[in-house]
Amino acid sequence: MPQNHALVECVPNFSEGRDAAAISRITSAMAAVDGITLLNVDPGRATHRTVVTIVGAPEAIVEAAFQGIAEASRTIDMRRHAGEHPRMGATDVCPLVPIRGITMAEVAQLAHRLGERVGQELEIPVFLYEEAATQPKRRNLSVIRAGEFEGLADKLADPEWLPDFGPARPHPTAGATVIGARPFLVAYNLNLNTTSTRRANAVAFDLREAGRVVRTNGASGDIVRDTAGEAVREAGLLQGVKGIGWFIEEYGIAQVSLNLTDLQRTPLHEAFEAGRERAAARGMRVTGSELVGMVPLAAMVEAGRYFLTRQERSLGVPDEELVRIAVRSMGLDELAPFDPAERIIEWRLRDPAMSRLIDLSVADFTTTAAGETPTPGGGSVAAAVGAFGAAMATMVANLSAHKRGWDELWQTYSEWAERGMGHATTLLRLVDEDTRSFDTLMAAYRLPKGTDAEQEARSLAIEAGIKGATEVPLAVMREALASMDVADAMARSGLPSSLSDAGVGALCARTAVRGAWLNVQINTPGLRDRTWAENALAEGHAILATAERMESEIVALVEQAIKREG
């Protein structure tokens, strides 16, 4: 999907988790809408519920959500539905989530439009919640859903619970639907080594922000009320977290089911750790956990960093390794395989049609570069060599962080490794960016030039294309030079047996700088904006001089150390 277009996520929860054919009909109805990507379908037998994740442009999302709700109303009969999860309709809840290029207020308006259409065309009563709510008391989903499907007729008969859209009576088979706008929510379950729903609920009450109602004599006592007659509550440990306990017959265990509504206030790993501690305090153990639907990459990376820090291990590793540590540490694959490529939203959104040079093997990259096409060219190769150089310096930092006897220095080396990994990651991105900038420039040269207006438009496009094709190698030069700071630090104080690798890192970095400099030089003569061109040349020349000086110093340090060791 184009990176500059507005993107909305929709996560409808359908009250069907056992009939694969029925689930397929619902998801197919949504996926058939142009501009929609079906990211994930997560059915649960015990909950008798399927969580679907789709993303797309705003208008496409509204259409796809409507088609899913319509198909669910034809497919699911709530009169015969029973499951562990609270529910009030065939499409129990349908939240819209802003992902990119759109505000929460705009998404709330989309929710209003969707709700109005569902109410009018499908005659399903619709309640609006969270940021789309029309009344403060309807912001909370659990308040709207209280009484569930079985109590829906009585609820709708109450003038205070007239639906926002649709008739004031339940749809005979589809019940009612809750539609809203909310921030990204992570549905996260903790697996317990017990079958007791009561004990799972006790842990949920310990954790969730709403906590528990205070009673005079424990769970069996009278509710304590304040002067206004409202029940007094004891707050839970975790902010922005909702939770209940339930028994999952499919797995033969009880779970603490949590909704993390604000990952800034309560990250994934903090929920896991707090749950583990509270379960242990109540004589139980968290054996693993389960993510329902999709999760942001940042949440998994942050969790991986947390667990590596607890181990006093270096954090200067790729995101893929941080995710692997998070999955293992939280037992996300205990109940079923956890495939990060399918469950992490940013990774799932990668366009498979867009092949990337950095996804090729070294052999394939080499043969591709040797082919009869101008890309990948010297700029991409320079960036790749720079990435290798940063990786070498990072490796020395990681090895130094884990050296026996250097335990008090692990954090210092970890910080160097993180810097090096950051440079390597940026340089890898620039491998493909250089090729894309060249392709953009070539497209500008192919623009029509039959009229004066076309010639002017073509000229402007070429000028912008040349600047882009110059800016990328300049960025390679900056990043490769910055990575030499890591190589220098490792040459001075890194693991003695790996100092040669720090030297290789410096040599690669200097090669990347020199190679990218050639690309800057060959592009700038074609620019009409001579001030911009001269500034680019001046910056590039200064970077080159510094890189050559640093290379000489680092290689000298390494060679002296090798002689001493010899």
Give the residue numbers annotated as catalytic, written as ranges: 85, 434
- The answer to whether 120 and 112 have CB atoms below 8 angstroms apart is no
- 3 state SS of 248: strand
H helices present in 330-451, as ranges: 340-343, 345-348, 362-369, 378-401, 410-445
- The answer to whether 393 and 420 have CB atoms below 8 angstroms apart is yes
CA distance 18 to 45: 5
- Omega before residue 376 within 30° of 0, cis: yes
Question: For residue 404, what are the contacts with CB-CB under 8 A and spacing of at least 6?
Answer: none
Through-space distance between the first and last CA atoms of the chain, rounded to whole angstroms: 56
Between CA 204 and CA 212, with CA 210 as vertex, the angle to 5 degrees is 65
Question: For residue 284, what are the contacts with CB-CB under 8 A and spacing of at least 6?
Answer: 192, 193, 194, 199, 203
- Alpha carbon 41 to its chain centroid, in Å, reads 17
Task: Output the six-digit token pair for 561.
Answer: 């150390």
The count of other CB atoms within 10 Å of the CB of residue 59 is 15
CA distance 330 to 308: 13
- The answer to whether 507 and 515 have CB atoms below 8 angstroms apart is no
Annotate 27-55 with three-state secondary structure.
Answer: HHHHHCCCCEEEEEEEEECCCCEEEEEEE
- 3 state SS of 312: coil
CA distance 170 to 177: 10
Match 């693991």 to its residue by tokens: 495
**Nearest CA-CA partner of 256 in 232, 219, 301, 287:** 287
Match 């209003």 to its residue by tokens: 112
Match 């603490």 to its residue by tokens: 256
CA distance 238 to 274: 8
Helices 530-565, 499-523: axis angle to 10 degrees equals 160
CA distance 132 to 362: 50
